[in-house]
Amino acid sequence: MNNEEKQSLSIEIEKFKTIQTFLSDKISLKNGRAVERIQFCAGVDVAYWEEAGVEWGVCSIVVIDYDTKVVVDKTHSIGKITVPYIPGYLAFRELPLVLDAAKKLSKTPDLYMFDGNGYLHPRHMGIATHASFFLNKPTIGIAKSYFKIDNVDVTIPKNKTGSYEDIVIGNEVYGRVLRSHQDVKPIFISCGNYINLQATTKIVLHLINEESRIPIPVRLADLETKRIRRRLVE
């Protein structure tokens, strides 16, 4: 990357940060009415690949019935990626694909779960939170690894299903380290928007089964993106 490209990227990052700061003031960590009567829950995942020097992405959204856990809808979108990977600014890279896929759904989810962070972010604006302002639905972030903030380490919960430890940074709770299965690595959950952490934890645990440490809709979306990517790359 030459000096001109570096300067251009620096300007873009400042724009991104301004947008995140503006939206972060509008986050609500209170349960919206939709949280109390969830019927359909969506999992969202994005996968990438490169072809002839061009980066592409696919976003899959899988919707399940909250009670029966049966898949009721799924869709995807494919497109060129125009924003490079910049830690802390993932939403600007993935959001166009997410919104394009969401508008193709025939079922309207009451809640979206993202493979990524929400409030657990330096400016509380992970992909799950950022997307909520466009989807207008409660959202949850599910991460398989910890995105370290302010050099703060996390406390690993007891080796017992359902145990957790809050992630506290600067005297504020950003999310939780949750043991979704005994003898399995924990996951890192956080509110996206329009939901509190207690409801987030309850919903995540409700949607865990024996097949995976992450919630069913997110796992299914992850499998779907990988399946589509394989088909396109072959």
What pLDDT does residue 5 have? 61
Whole-prediction pTM: 0.95
Give a three-class secondary structure readout of the chain.
CCHHHHHHHHHHHHHHHHHHHHHHCCCCCCCCHHHHHCCEEEEEEEEEEEECCEEEEEEEEEEEECCCCCEEEEEEEEEECCCCCCCCCHHHHHHHHHHHHHCCCCCCCCEEEEEECCCCCCCCCCHHHHHHHHHCCCEEEEECCCCCCCCCCCCCCCCCCCCEEEEEECCEEEEEEECCCCCCCCEEEEEEECCCHHHHHHHHHHCCCCCCCCCHHHHHHHHHHHHHHHHHHC
What pLDDT does residue 74 have? 97
- Architecture of the domain made up of 3-233: 2-Layer Sandwich (3.30)
What pLDDT does residue 158 have? 97
What pLDDT does residue 79 have? 96
Residue at 187: amino acid letter: I
- Domain boundary assignment for the chain: 3-233
Counting as low any pLDDT under 70, the low residues of the chain are: 1-6
115 is an annotated ligand-binding site residue: yes
What pLDDT does residue 2 have? 62
What pLDDT does residue 1 have? 56
What pLDDT does residue 180 have? 96
